[in-house]
């Protein structure tokens, strides 16, 4: 009961502050929340399940494009479009994950790298369907029951999405499934000997994480009311990786810290280094790995150790 109350409190507080922010701040806050959602699901995939993948941001994009296409080109009602987009993400994710299980872990990284690039090609060449290099725009979140979510209310919806993602992943992590994912990460042979179906665990983890990214993407589609291929290149896939590593891979808190830090830092660093925050992040990530190669414990781990 107590735990439920804390989640509700978090939801109220995190949504509430949106009502005290102006339009620009709300926009930044929404995007920050979406990055947090992405980092949490990516952390489950990379940190907890040990799968190196570069496709996560692509599923974010698939969710975004799919929901827009389903609603505004196929005329589906929004709830159905959301389900269909989620289903699409799940099917594509499984299609990538299933063949990859037969091979060593790093093949997944390569296959997902190719998948991510392929996604951008498809977006650019998609003509009328995807809007090509310009993307899709000129749409708005449809009304549900005569009510259109906008402004701080939409931010509140995103808060619920993030908290829902966090709660789900946190619950899974503490269950036999989360332990199985960690076991597969640490020693697949021993995991199998303990009764864990390694291939199935990997596929489920990948599909689940990717679908969660897809949900975040659907929320993203209505943040700027435009989707275009430019942001779905590998840049952001790398940034996501950096967030999780710097924050502390394997830790939910770490994912949040990493996302908040790396998303907000450029705003502060801009005066100094212009658009080249990627350079700083790259350096910091290399430093993070060099300084603590064994655990990739990141900042979250450092805080935990300092407290102990």
Partner 1 sequence: MILAVAGLSKRFGGLTAVAGLDFVVGKGEILGLIGPNGAGKSTTFNLIAGVSGADAGEVCFAGEPILGLAPHQIARRGIMRTFQHNRPFAGMSVTDNVLVGAHVRFSRRVFGNAGEERAQRDRAEGLVEFVGLSGLQAADVVTLSFGQGRLLEIARALAGEPRLLLLDEPAAGLTPVEAERIAGLIRGIAARGIAVLLIEHDMRFLLPLAHRVVVLNFGAKIAEGTPEAVRADPAVLNAYLGSHAPA
Partner 2 sequence: MRDFLELAVSATASGCVYALIALAYLLMIRPTGIINFAVGEWAMVGAFAGYLTLSKLNWPYPAGMAAMLGFMLLLGWATERVAVRPLVHTGAPPLAPILALLGMLVVVRESVSIGFGPDPHQVPEPFGFAWQKEYMVGVTLAVFAGAWLFFERTLAGRSFEAVALDRKAAALMGINLPRVTAASFAGGAAVAGLAGILVSPNVSAHYLMGVPLAIQGFTALVIGGVGRVEGALLGGLLLAFAEQLTVRYAPIPAGYAQGVPLLLLMLFLVVRPTGLLRARA
Distance of closest approach, residue 172 Cβ to partner 1, in angstroms: 6
Half-sphere exposure of 277 (CA within 13 A, CB side): 18
User: Site for partner 1 (CB under 8 A): which residue of 19, 106, 176, 267?
Assistant: 176
User: How far apart, in whole angstroms, are the C-alpha atoms of residue 205 and residue 103?
Assistant: 16
DSSP state letter for 46: I
Phi, psi of 147 (to 5 degrees): -120, 130
Q: Is 17 in the site for partner 2 (CB under 8 A)?
A: no
- Site for partner 1, residues 279 to 298, rule: CB under 8 A: 295
Q: Which does 194 bind (CB under 5 to 8 A by kind): partner 1, partner 2, none?
A: partner 1
Q: Is 172 in the site for partner 1 (CB under 8 A)?
A: yes
Q: Nearest-CA neighbor of 53 among 231, 166, 209, 260?
A: 209
Going by C-beta distance under 8 Å and a sequence separation of 6 or more, which residues neighbour residue 53?
A: 45, 46, 108, 109, 112, 206
CB-nearer residue toward partner 1: 92 or 172: 172
Question: What are the tokens at 27?
Answer: 């926009």
Query: Do 295 and 305 contact (CB within 8 A), yes or no?
Result: no
202 sits in the region (left: phi over 0; alpha: psi -120 to 50; else beta) called alpha
User: How far apart, in whole angstroms, are the C-alpha atoms of residue 78 and residue 125?
Assistant: 26
Q: Which does 185 bind (CB under 5 to 8 A by kind): partner 1, partner 2, none?
A: partner 1
Q: Is 144 helix (H, G, I), strand (E, B) or coil?
A: strand
> Applying CB under 8 A, which part among 20-28, 77-85, 147-155, 293-301 lies near partner 2?
293-301
CB-nearer residue toward partner 1: 174 or 276: 174
User: Site for partner 1 (CB under 8 A): which residue of 68, 191, 239, 288?
Assistant: 191
User: How far apart, in whole angstroms, are the C-alpha atoms of residue 283 and residue 299?
Assistant: 15
Q: Is 121 in the site for partner 1 (CB under 8 A)?
A: no
Q: Is 114 in the site for partner 2 (CB under 8 A)?
A: yes
Q: Nearest-CA neighbor of 254 among 170, 179, 129, 161?
A: 170
User: How far apart, in whole angstroms, are the C-alpha atoms of residue 230 and residue 51?
Assistant: 25
Distance of closest approach, residue 50 Cβ to partner 1, in angstroms: 9
Q: Which does 28 bind (CB under 5 to 8 A by kind): partner 1, partner 2, none?
A: none
Distance of closest approach, residue 289 Cβ to partner 1, in angstroms: 16
User: How far apart, in whole angstroms, are the C-alpha atoms of residue 125 and residue 119?
Assistant: 10
- Site for partner 1, residues 250 to 269, rule: CB under 8 A: 250
Q: Is 106 in the site for partner 2 (CB under 8 A)?
A: yes
Q: Is 198 in the site for partner 1 (CB under 8 A)?
A: yes
Q: Is 237 in the site for partner 1 (CB under 8 A)?
A: no
- CA 56 from centre of chain: 6
Q: What sign has the CA pseudo-torsion 133, 139, 145, 151?
A: positive
Distance of closest approach, residue 285 Cβ to partner 2, in angstroms: 4
User: Site for partner 2 (CB under 8 A): which residue of 21, 122, 167, 303?
Assistant: 122
Q: Using CB under 8 A as the criterion, which residues of the chain lie in contact with partner 2 when the complex forms?
A: 52, 99-100, 103-107, 110-111, 113-115, 117-118, 121-122, 124-125, 234, 238, 241-242, 245, 276, 278-279, 281-283, 285-286, 289-290, 293-294, 296
Q: Using CB under 8 A as the criterion, which residues of the chain lie in contact with partner 1 when the complex forms?
A: 171-172, 174-177, 179-180, 182-183, 185-187, 189-198, 250, 295
């Amino acid at each position: 009961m107590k735990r439920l109350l804390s989640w509700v409190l978090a939801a109220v507080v995190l949504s509430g502050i949106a009502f005290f922010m102006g339009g620009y701040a709300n926009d930044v806050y929404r995007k920050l929340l979406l990055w947090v959602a992405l980092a949490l699901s990516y952390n489950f995939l990379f940190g907890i399940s040990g799968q190196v993948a570069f496709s996560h941001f692509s599923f974010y994009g698939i969710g975004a494009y799919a929901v827009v296409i389903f609603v505004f080109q196929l005329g589906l009602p929004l709830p159905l479009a959301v389900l269909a987009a989620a289903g699409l993400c799940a099917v594509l994710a499984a299609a990538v994950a299933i063949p990859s299980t037969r091979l060593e872990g790093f093949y997944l990284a390569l296959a997902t790298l190719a998948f991510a690039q392929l996604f951008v090609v498809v977006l650019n060449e998609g003509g009328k369907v995807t809007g090509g290099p310009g993307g899709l725009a000129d749409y708005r979140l449809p009304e549900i029951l005569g009510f259109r979510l906008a402004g701080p209310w939409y931010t509140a919806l995103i808060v619920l999405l993030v908290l829902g993602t966090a709660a789900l992943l946190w619950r899974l992590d503490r269950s036999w499934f989360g332990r199985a994912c960690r076991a597969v990460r640490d020693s697949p042979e021993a995991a199998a000997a303990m009764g864990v179906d390694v291939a199935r665990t990997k596929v489920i983890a990948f599909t689940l994480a990717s679908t969660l990214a897809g949900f975040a993407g659907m929320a993203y589609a209505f943040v700027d009311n435009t989707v275009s291929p430019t942001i779905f290149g590998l840049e952001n896939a790398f940034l996501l990786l950096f967030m999780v590593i710097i924050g502390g891979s394997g830790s939910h808190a770490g994912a949040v810290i990493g996302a908040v830090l790396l998303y907000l830092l450029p705003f502060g660093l801009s005066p100094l280094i212009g658009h080249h925050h990627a350079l700083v992040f790259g350096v910091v990530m290399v430093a993070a790995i060099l300084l603590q190669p064994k655990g990739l414990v990141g900042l979250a781990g450092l805080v935990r150790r300092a407290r102990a």
